[in-house]
Amino acid sequence: MTKTKTILAALAVGLLASTSALAGDVRIMWYSDGVEGEVLKDLLDRFMKDNPGINVILDNVSYSVVREQLPVQLEAGDGPDIARVTNLKAQSQHWLDLRPLVADAAYWDENFGAQADWMRPDGSNQISGFMTQITLAGGFANKTLFEQAGVAIPGKDATWDDWAKASKQVAESQQVPFAMALDRSGHRLTGPVLAYGGNYIGPDGKPAPLDQGAKDFLTKFVGWIADGTMSKDVWVSAAGSTYRAAADDFINGQLVYYYSGSWQVPNFSTKIGSNFDWIATGSPCGPVNCTGMPGGAGLVAIKYTKNPTEVAKVMDYLAREDIVKEFSERTMFLPAHKGLLAKGLDFKTDDAQAKEALNAFVAATGSLSDLAQKLPGWFWSDTFYGAMVTRISQAAAGEMTVEEAFTRIDADIAAKVKDSGL
């Protein structure tokens, strides 16, 4: 992280405590998985040159700031003018309706309509923003470690058990500390839960108690942490529902198999380089299917802004097809723009591994279950994810049994639903 980014992150609370009050100021809260913050800054510098009356302030912060501090600001009727977020639906009451403000609402409907419901209040036709990228959860294997160990990489229809067995064999052979890791994230847990037949949504559209499919995988997952197959560090090194990735372990060659997602591709391309060979594997299969979880980050306008007209101009610019194309090609992200997807992209990389990985993720979209595609637009998804992470982490740490964790998950979610009054 650059010195400027470090200072901004350290001062995030103070800087982001209120919306932009000065006429023409537009403040954006932004987090990065890879190089996208640098790309966005370049694009915004060009925008300000062409629009001297609008001053765009880009606050590069950690993902934890977006996850943990932004909701507090929003509940206080405060915050930045624009934010990049992943918790889109549950916070949609805070998003500004851009429909009457953008230059051409029909353009937004045509090109970003497929995911528009992910980020707007149920029952509305609000334009809240657009997805900066579509992501898909999936696995990565350290191909070099498999080759050195003489272990065959599991094939296309390999199960979670197949990957666990092979990865542990490789880790023991090559004496690396971690066989498998899965991000400390309820979203990441959900792919395999669905593959085991889990379903979070009750008949009334509200959260259902954990079913047998969910319990089957979560029990297996905690067991893998207990026996060393799955990295314990990722899940017990943080409290509550705090997100933690295992990307650095994979980048450093200390992890055989990593279940994360497509957003890691540019990160791996930049940081792994030629240190070792790696591949994207799609999602392992469970007894029911081989689904991963779609998702992504959305760039949304905040309704508490003092400068809605300027905000709409910035959003219109960033949503332009040529700008989305440049942003996607330079960041190696999969865009949500319908017209651009139909025309294709030329990702700006000479890394054959990265291009192959991106194509693997595109192919994996064909294995998504109907439920996986529904969950990003379900109001209670983040509530479910947060409860699972908190309690499964406690079970992984030995603070409670997995059965106790299941009881607590159901109780936590039921309390959230009751408190909401919905």
- Would the pTM count as exceeding 0.95? no
Query: What is the average pLDDT score of the chain?
Result: 92
Residue 349 has a pLDDT of: 85
Tell me: pLDDT of 333 over 90: no
Looking at per-residue confidence, does 107 or 22 come out higher?
107
Gap between the Cα atoms of 74 and 78, Å rounded: 5
Gap between the Cα atoms of 344 and 352, Å rounded: 17
For residue 9, name the pLDDT band (cuts at 50, 70, 90): very low
Tell me which H or E stretch contains 372: helix 370-374
CA 220 remoteness from chain centre: 24
Express the helix, strand and coil content of the chain in percent, nearest 5 each.
50, 15, 35
Residue 114 has a pLDDT of: 87
Angle made by CA atoms 59, 65, 67, in degrees to the nearest 5 = 125
Q: How does pLDDT run across 352-383, given as a tens digit for each residue?
A: 999 899 888 888 888 899 999 899 989 999 99
What is the mean pLDDT of the segment spanning 258-281?
A: 94
Confirm if 138 and 282 have CB atoms less than 8 A apart. Answer: yes
C-alpha dist (Å) from residue 345 to 324, 330, 337, 349, 389: 10, 10, 11, 12, 36
> Which of the residue ranges 119-123, 302-306, 346-350 would you say has the lowest mean pLDDT?
346-350
Structure tokens at 158: 């390999």
Residue 11 has a pLDDT of: 41
Q: How does pLDDT run across 69-89, given as a tens digit for each residue?
A: 999 999 999 999 999 999 899
Gap between the Cα atoms of 327 and 170, Å rounded: 38
Tell me: pLDDT of 17 over 70: no
Tell me: pLDDT of 282 over 60: yes
For residue 18, name the pLDDT band (cuts at 50, 70, 90): very low
Angle made by CA atoms 37, 326, 47, in degrees to the nearest 5 = 70
Contact residues for 177 (Cβ-Cβ < 8 A; gap 6+)? 171, 249, 254, 255
In terms of Cα–Cα distance, which of 311, 6, 289, 335 is closest to 160? 289
> Which of the residue ranges 47-61, 149-163, 367-381 would you say has the lowest mean pLDDT?
367-381
Gap between the Cα atoms of 336 and 324, Å rounded: 9
Gap between the Cα atoms of 275 and 374, Å rounded: 38
Handedness of CA 373, 83, 89, 308 (dihedral sign): negative
In terms of Cα–Cα distance, which of 269, 262, 310 is closest to 132? 262
Gap between the Cα atoms of 18 and 207, Å rounded: 34
Residue 24 has a pLDDT of: 80
